[in-house]
Amino acid sequence: MKQVYLDTFGCQMNVADTDRMELLLFHSGYIRTGEVQDADLVLINTCSIRDKAEQKIYSLAKNLKPLKETNPDMILGFTGCLAQQEGERFLEKMPFVDLVIGPDGVEHIVQVIKDVKDKKLPVVRTQFDTDTNYQIPELSGETPLNPGPTAFVNIIKGCDKFCTFCVVPFTRGREKSREAEEIEQEIKLLVSRGAREIILLGQNVNAYGKRGLKQPVPFHELLYRIASIPGLKRLRFITSHPKDFTRECITAYRDIDILANHIHLPVQSGNNRILKEMRRMHTIEEYISIIEELKAVLPDIGVSTDIIVGYPSESESEFEDTLSLMEKIKFNNSYMFSYSSRPNTPAQYFPDLVSQSVKSDRLQKTIQLQKRLTLEQGKKIIGKEIEVLVESESFKNDSDFRGRNAQYWSVNFTGDKRQIVPGDMVKVIVEDATGHVLKGRALLLKGYKKLMVAAGSKT
């Protein structure tokens, strides 16, 4: 078999696209290698969400140039969001590259490689698919590897929100949902191969099913349908948008036992003027009321978010509103970013840029605050019993396994390797909390029985 080296930048959707390319390529005779110099085909799946991501990819491309020169038969390709954004320009800047394809090119990867070989010319493929819905055909036969205990499943692609700062609607195109039946089929297959937790993926999962489906199903109904799949122990979704968050979804949190007590709900800013400028289409009061309603049905729900500091024209007091909101909600975790001007987006033309040093200072303040909030909440869990889905054995000296609890805390714990295997749901007593990681030990029942917690029970 030929060898393919795959590298991924960016979000989980890109990780899922890389996995899909690996599978498609496996069926056409490629096996994945971790050694770039051994590869017949090198594919870098790119991201362009912020300028830093873009710069990293260009420097990687430059580093790969000598390898391509010494091994001209090797095919070197760039896929994903930066490839979509730049298209021909990418090739002009990096003429040694053989293929440039956007996210909608993933399904066509095998054909594109064939075209490169046949024509002996670089190929750029950045057109979006014209179908109204989104299909990921099942591939029969062997797979290169089985899923781990946690598997990601795409339910929707693209984005129609056009927040003023964001490249995603330009790099991933219009919102398109997958038929519920196809999603259920894929999940059943993953569960039969060992997956125990499914994380539904999309830039806007709760915009699922709005249009294009032959059999329209709203997002909350999809959750109920998936939750009834036998063998599934935990269900999550990322990312949802406050604007599309419905009452029915809150009820689903109350009713579905295996729906994890965790929500990742990006807020971006704690100030209404900035939210309006960003075109987020909701207010802070609406955001707080979603969280309060969720907490009313699940008091121990873990909440995480995304935050941007230094959006054009953000004043000091508007920034402080973000800090106040963080204190109020007490996020478990925040992904915090300093605003980065992106091509194609309306915000790139907005005047009154916040200086780099002010942005850095604001970013540091949010990071420090989040550190404290995470630690305070972690400390409260010390001494408690939590349910952990074991994801893998641990490589750390002082623990045997790692996994996550429902609230998405990462947990390292000691336990008997003859008793516990990845995919088990085990009870762990928490002994310490550092940063985002809890430490503990698996509780063993009398009689040394394997500690399996009944599937579906909630922490």
CA–CA separation, 245 vs 266, rounded Å?
12
Residue with tokens 């947990």: 411
Other beta carbons within 10 angstroms of residue 377's beta carbon come to: 17
Distance (Å, rounded) from C-alpha 197 to C-alpha 423?
Answer: 9
Q: Which residues are bridge partners to 259 per DSSP?
A: 235
* Residue 81 binding result from ligand SF4, ligand F3S, ligand SAH, none, given CB thresholds of 5 to 8 Å by partner type: ligand F3S
Helix, strand, coil percentages in the chain from 3-state DSSP, rounded to 5: 40, 20, 40
| Residue 150 CB, nearest approach to ligand SAH (Å) | 20
- Least distance in angstroms from the C-beta of 126 to ligand SF4: 19
If the CB atoms of residues 15 and 453 are measured against ligand F3S, the closer one turns out to be 15
Residue 218 C-beta: closest distance to ligand SF4, Å: 18
Q: What DSSP assignment string belongs to 373-395? A: HHHHHHHHHTT-EEEEEEEEE--
Residue among 3, 203, 206, 261 that touches ligand SF4 (CB under 6 A): 203
Look at strands 176-177 and 156-157 and give their pairing. Answer: antiparallel
Separation CA 180–CA 219 (nearest Å): 10
Q: Which does 105 bind (CB under 5 to 8 A by kind): ligand SAH, ligand F3S, ligand SF4, none?
A: none
- Residue 117 Cα distances to 22, 41, 74, 77, 260, angstroms: 19, 11, 10, 12, 47
Give me the least distance between CB of 168 and ligand F3S, in Å please.
Answer: 5
Within residues 47-66, the interface with ligand SAH by CB under 6 A covers 49-50
From the list ligand SF4, ligand F3S, ligand SAH, none, which binds 308 (C-beta under 5 to 8 Å, kind-based)? ligand SAH
Site for ligand SAH in 168-207 (CB under 6 A): 168, 203-204
What is the distance between the alpha carbons of residues 419 and 404, in angstroms, rounded to a whole number? 18
Query: Given the complex with ligand SAH, which of 289 and 419 has the nearer CB atom?
Result: 289
Q: Give burial (CB, 10 Å; 0-12/13-18/19+) of 454.
A: exposed
Binding site for ligand F3S (CB under 6 A): 10-11, 13-14, 47-49, 80-81, 167-168, 171-172
Contact partner, 448, from ligand SF4, ligand SAH, ligand F3S, none, Cβ < 5-8 Å per class: none
Q: How far apart are CA 443 and CA 431, in angstroms?
A: 12
End-to-end CA distance of the chain, in Å?
46
**Site map 322..361 versus ligand SAH, x via CB under 6 A:** ---------------x-xx-x-------------------
In angstroms, rounded to a whole number, what is the distance separating the alpha carbons of residues 424 and 390? Answer: 6
H helix intervals, 298-430? 316-329, 356-381
Name the token pair of 392: 């893998």
What track of x and - describes contact with ligand SF4 for positions 146 through 185 (by CB under 6 A)?
-------------x-xxx--x-xx----------------
> Three-class SS of residue 318?
helix
- Which entry of ligand SF4, ligand SAH, ligand F3S, none binds 171, CB below 5 to 8 A by partner kind? ligand F3S
Closer to ligand F3S by Cβ: residue 335 or 448? 335
Report the alpha-carbon distance of residue 191 to residue 242 in Å, rounded: 30
Tokens 């930066």, residue? 82
According to DSSP, residue 242 is labeled G
Minimum CB–partner distance for residue 341 and ligand F3S (Å): 14
Out of ligand F3S, ligand SAH, ligand SF4, none, which partner does residue 13 contact, by CB within 5 to 8 A per kind?
ligand F3S
C-beta of 158: minimal distance to ligand SF4 in Å?
A: 9
Q: Does 305 bind ligand SF4 (CB under 6 A)?
A: no
Give the nearer residue to ligand F3S in terms of CB position, either 294 or 307.
307
Instruction: Draw the binding track, 227-266, toward ligand SF4 (x: CB under 6 A; -: no contact).
Output: --------------x-------------------------
Name residues contacting ligand SAH, limited to 100-119 (CB under 6 A).
none
Q: Is residue 165 close enough to count as binding ligand SAH by CB under 6 A?
A: yes
Buried/exposed 176-191: b ≥16 CB within 10 Å, e otherwise: bbbbbebbbebbbebb
Q: How far is CA 61 from the centre of its chain?
A: 24
Question: What residues line the site for ligand SAH (CB under 6 A)?
Answer: 49-50, 165-166, 168, 203-204, 239, 241, 266, 268, 306, 308, 337, 339-340, 342
Question: What residues line the site for ligand SF4 (CB under 6 A)?
Answer: 159, 161-163, 166, 168-169, 203-204, 241
